[in-house]
């Protein structure tokens, strides 16, 4: 099933998503009884690694988990999807946890405990320097310490795909190594404000992309949910890439599916636009299934097409 050429190395978070359903959310000080509880593997880094591997990329995950039972849940779909987990370190902190509480109307609250992800800093990256330097594509997000993100970007000799989500403060030089920077429309505005605190942040998306490029960002991909994505490479015109029309069941993790697929395409030698055309289809596939990692397509799955 392989179309691998270069490798994808994802440096990022691994979590357990604890999804609790309740009739209604408790008020402060109140206790309510849940109607169900599910433990699922999550974390943006792990999600993206699963998505890349399932698209046929030789993928390595660099990250940290605790020495606890949750570590097994957090890594359960990585190896199963073909991800090399030898650079996932066990540390003396609890495995990252996201507690998602969903009420009858679908409204949710989320509490994230970074735990072991806080150990994926500069020192951890130096211990995995060789594998990061050997990657065709290094994928980074905002769920590990900023010095880990900076160290990974500095070690990369291949392409850096920076998905700065959530938008955490990083050295502007790190953002300028991105090729591409991948963000949704809200994150694009926050990254612009971070790079240029005095900037008037435009509300229309192409103007946002141009403002980021004017500050030196080499290439930008803005994901737009059901509308697909905008792709801007170098000084070339911005291209709107539509997403296939599908019936969305659960859009959680769609952005991570997109990023993983984009990385897999780039590692296989596709250009940014071709890789994005495939990534929107992978994102659209993912929203048709429940959960994050379990909804990501494998190479032999038939992807929806843009009509």
Active site members: 256
Nearer to ligand ADP, 17 or 84 (CB): 17
Q: Sheet with 15-21: list strands edge to edge.
A: 36-42, 15-21, 96-102, 108-113
Q: Which of 146, 224, 239, 299 binds ligand ADP (CB under 6 A)?
A: 224
Q: How far is the CB of 132 from ligand ADP (least distance, A)?
A: 24
CA distance 61 to 41: 14
Q: Which of 12, 63, 66, 228 binds ligand ADP (CB under 6 A)?
A: 228
128 makes contact with ligand ADP (CB under 6 A): no
Segment near ligand ADP (CB under 6 A); pick from 40-48, 130-138, 154-162, 242-250: 242-250
Nearer to ligand ADP, 40 or 254 (CB): 254
**Phi, psi at 248, each rounded to 5°:** -80, 130
Interface positions, 147-186, toward ligand ADP (CB under 6 A): 184
What does the DSSP 8-state code read for residue 141? -
Q: Which is nearest to 10 in space by CA: 174, 137, 192, 145?
A: 137
Q: Which is nearest to 243 in space by CA: 283, 204, 300, 209?
A: 283
Q: How far is the CB of 142 from ligand ADP (least distance, A)?
A: 12
Interface positions, 253-292, toward ligand ADP (CB under 6 A): 254-255, 258, 280, 283-284, 287
Q: How far is the CB of 129 from ligand ADP (least distance, A)?
A: 29
Q: How far is the CB of 94 from ligand ADP (least distance, A)?
A: 26
CB atoms within 10 A of CB 5: 13
Can you give the C-alpha Rg of the chain in angstroms?
Answer: 18
Six token digits for residue 172: 């502007």
Segment near ligand ADP (CB under 6 A); pick from 56-64, 128-136, 206-214, 219-227: 219-227
296 makes contact with ligand ADP (CB under 6 A): no
Terminal C-alpha separation, the chain: 26
**Phi, psi at 184, each rounded to 5°:** -85, 180
Q: Three-state DSSP class for 260?
A: helix
Segment near ligand ADP (CB under 6 A); pick from 64-72, 119-127, 194-202, 249-257: 249-257
Q: Which residues bind ligand ADP (CB under 6 A)?
A: 184, 223-226, 228-229, 243, 246, 248, 251, 254-255, 258, 280, 283-284, 287
């Amino acid at each position: 099933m392989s179309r691998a050429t270069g490798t994808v190395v994802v440096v990022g978070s691994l979590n357990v998503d604890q999804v609790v359903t309740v009739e209604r959310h408790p008020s402060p000080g109140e206790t309510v009884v849940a109607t169900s509880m599910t433990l699922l593997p999550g974390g943006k880094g792990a999600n993206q690694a699963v998505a890349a591997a399932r698209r046929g990329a030789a993928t390595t995950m660099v990250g940290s988990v605790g020495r606890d039972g949750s570590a097994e849940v957090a890594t359960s779909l990585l190896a199963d999807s073909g991800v090399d987990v030898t650079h996932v370190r066990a540390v003396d902190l609890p495995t990252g946890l996201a507690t998602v509480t969903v009420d009858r109307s679908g409204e949710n609250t989320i509490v994230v405990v970074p735990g072991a992800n806080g150990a994926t800093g500069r020192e951890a990256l130096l211990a995995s320097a060789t594998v990061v330097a050997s990657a065709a594509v290094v994928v980074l997000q905002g769920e590990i310490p900023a010095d880990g993100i900076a160290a990974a970007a500095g070690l990369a000799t291949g392409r850096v795909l920076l998905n700065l989500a959530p938008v955490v403060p990083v050295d502007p030089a790190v953002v300028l190594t991105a090729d591409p920077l991948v963000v949704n429309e809200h994150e694009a505005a926050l990254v612009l404000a971070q790079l240029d605190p005095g900037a008037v942040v435009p509300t229309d998306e192409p103007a946002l992309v141009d403002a980021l490029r004017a500050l030196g960002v080499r290439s930008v991909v803005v994901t737009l949910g059901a509308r697909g994505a905008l792709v801007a490479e170098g000084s070339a015109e911005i291209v709107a890439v539509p997403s296939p029309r599908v019936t969305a069941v659960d859009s959680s993790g769609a952005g991570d599916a997109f990023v993983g697929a984009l990385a897999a395409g780039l590692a296989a030698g596709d250009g940014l636009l071709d890789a994005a055309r495939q990534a929107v289809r992978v994102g659209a596939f993912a929203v048709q299934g429940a959960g994050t990692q379990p909804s990501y397509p494998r190479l032999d799955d038939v992807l929806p097409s843009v009509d």
